[in-house]
Amino acid sequence: MTTGRVRIAFEGVSVAFGPPDRRLRVVDDVSYAIHDGEFVSVIGPSGCGKTTMLNMVAGFMQPTAGRVLLDGKPVTGPGPDRGVIFQEYGVFPWLTVRQNIEFGLKLRANRRPAAERAEIARRYMRLMGLEDFADAWPRTLSGGMRQRLALARAYAVRPQFLLMDEPFGALDAQTRSAMQNLLLEVLRTEGKTVMLITHSVEEALYLSSRIVVMTARPTRIREIVEVPFGYPRAEALHEQPEFGRLRSHLRDLVMQEYAAQARQRFAVTD
């Protein structure tokens, strides 16, 4: 299903942190591409370097070696073309729901006239089921509502990319599954190229068109798994034999990497 042009590319990317004598190699020569309209999930053991990779696409940091390309050009910094959804939501507490959504539309980079702003805010509030909370303060929202607000705010500036770092990790199972379906629904109406980081094999399978499995640190690509299911998807997908087969395969890979990580740690402290 990798038909479209390449939008995001990792080319021999390596990242290391710390001073030369106590160098922590985190990402080791990673190369892969995300094509237009693809939904790529990245899974791998905790601490392997997934967030680090997303941060490079988002423009929060640069690789130590290699290049991260966006439409063929190296990423130099964050920008409104890439919507980022953080695990901690990052909803602005001093702004109401409506004001949060309109925040990006009032910035010089993507300023819209007031009437259009209001219209966009209305649309995403409706889409995310927040219309009854337009003037509510974020502190009065539930976790799932905050995550929907973060999504609405990112969508409002019409990014071409959606970068999500364990966006549903803090939600309970039901809310999480509702958010996954909402995300699929929104993506169906306004396509985006998506990079999702998740700990959940199940979530990765249900949402993505491809899954990149990373090894323990220093992380490399363990395997790239094509997900053979088309869109739109429905909950019943979870019950399909092929889904189950891929799920156990992916679980095995991730567990092996966790085991490798544990062995590594043992070797270091030895």
Partner 1 sequence: MGPGVRRAALILLPWLAIVALWYGVHHSGLISPALVPAPHAVAARFAELATGRLPLDILMSTRRVVTGVALGIALAVPAGFVLGWYRQVRTFVDPLVNFFRALPPIALIPLVIVYFGVDELAKTVILFYAAFFAGVIVMYEGISQISPIYLRVARTLGASDSEIFLKVVVPMTVPHMLTALRVALGVAWATLVASELIAAQRGLGALIQDAASFFQLDIIYVGIISIGFIALAMDLALRRLSRRLLAWQERMA
Does position 55 interact with Mg ion (CB under 5 A)? The reply is no
- Identify which of residues 46 and 140 has a Cβ nearer to ligand ATP in the complex: 46
Q: Distances in Å between the alpha carbon of 169 and those of 34, 85, 96, 163, 195?
A: 23, 12, 24, 15, 15
Residues 76-115 that bind partner 1 (CB under 8 A): 77-80, 82-84, 86, 88, 90, 92-96, 103-104, 106-110
Q: For the sheet with 65-70, list strands across it.
A: 24-35, 6-17, 65-70, 73-74
Does position 17 interact with ligand ATP (CB under 6 A)? The reply is yes
Does position 52 interact with ligand ATP (CB under 6 A)? The reply is yes
Burial 102-132 (b: 16+ CB within 10 A, else e): bbbbeeeeeebeeeebeebbeebbebbebee
Neighbours of 161 (CB within 10 A): 20
Q: Residues 226, 13: contact at Cβ < 8 Å?
A: no
49 binds, among partner 1, ligand ATP, Mg ion, none (CB under 5 to 8 A by kind): ligand ATP
- CB of 197 vs ligand ATP, minimal distance in Å: 7
Q: Residues 117, 102: contact at Cβ < 8 Å?
A: yes
Alpha carbon distance 222, 219 (integer Å):
9
The DSSP string of 38-76 is -EEEEE-STTSSHHHHHHHHHTS---SEEEEEETTEE--
- CB of 34 vs partner 1, minimal distance in Å: 17
Does position 57 interact with ligand ATP (CB under 6 A)? The reply is no
Both structure tokens of 71? 């439409």
Does position 265 interact with ligand ATP (CB under 6 A)? The reply is no
Does position 60 interact with partner 1 (CB under 8 A)? The reply is yes
Q: Residues 172, 108: contact at Cβ < 8 Å?
A: no
Q: Per CB under 6 A, which region of 40-48, 127-135, 138-146, 203-211 contacts ligand ATP?
A: 40-48
- CB of 191 vs Mg ion, minimal distance in Å: 26
Does position 26 interact with ligand ATP (CB under 6 A)? The reply is yes
Pick from 5, 12, 23, 46: which binds ligand ATP (CB under 6 A)? 46
Does position 134 interact with partner 1 (CB under 8 A)? The reply is no
Pick from 76, 115, 139, 270: which binds partner 1 (CB under 8 A)? 139
- CB of 54 vs ligand ATP, minimal distance in Å: 8
Alpha carbon distance 74, 44 (integer Å):
25
In the complex, the residues that contact ligand ATP under the rule CB under 6 A are 17, 24, 26, 46-52
